[in-house]
A and B are shown apart, each in its own frame.
With several copies, the nearest count.
Chain A
């Protein structure tokens, strides 16, 4: 399955752009997306944390993605 992802902060720098189409190669859940990201862009493995938000909520590794979802890469936050 192909999904479109949105990236912020350092994730945008790693992907060299705010949006990216990702081909999920391991499965369709959040864990597979993270694995694909780390395989394709090794810089993601070096971050302090890597979270995925789907439709504006943080999701666990076993959350199943759909093509219509708004999927966002959330690198370590630093507001405040």
Chain B
């Protein structure tokens, strides 16, 4: 089962875990990405995420399908937040349940690594003296 959401409300770790847990899976690995208080030593005040929504959802679904196939995952859940986020708010949750735990670690790491490369979502970091679109420039 694959469950993808992109929403402008707080994400729930409990909800993602409950969606992923399966009687046939012994382990669920959950990645929870949160907003850090600094970037390269500079204090971050908050973030904003913007998404090209239909494509962000379809690209997240592709990643989940690839992970489910490659690691025989019972369930792959990817929830991503958009809008304004404060420090320690959850930006993304990825939960992967597999029969054996090693596969769940690998599949979950694959999902977050690939999400950061392919999903059309953009993060703007706000500092006390301005803001930048993250990773836009070399």
Contacts and interface: CB of A to CB of B under 8 A. Distances in A.
Contacts of B133: 9-10, 13, 75, 78
B58 A77 contact: no
Interface residues of A, number: 20
B127 interface: no
Contacts, number: 78
Interface string B32-53: 0100000000000000011110
Interface residues of B, number: 29
B52 A72 contact: yes
Contacts of B58: 56
B92 A79 contact: yes
Interface stretch (A24-32, A34-42, A45-53, A60-68): A45-53
Given A46-B137, A48-B136, A77 B116 contact: yes
B120 A80 contact: no
Contacts of A9: 50, 122, 124, 133, 136
Interface of B: 33, 49-52, 54-56, 58, 80, 91-92, 112, 115-124, 133-138
Given A48-B137, A53-B52, A79-B115, 4 more contacts: A10-B122, A13-B133, A47-B137, A80-B115
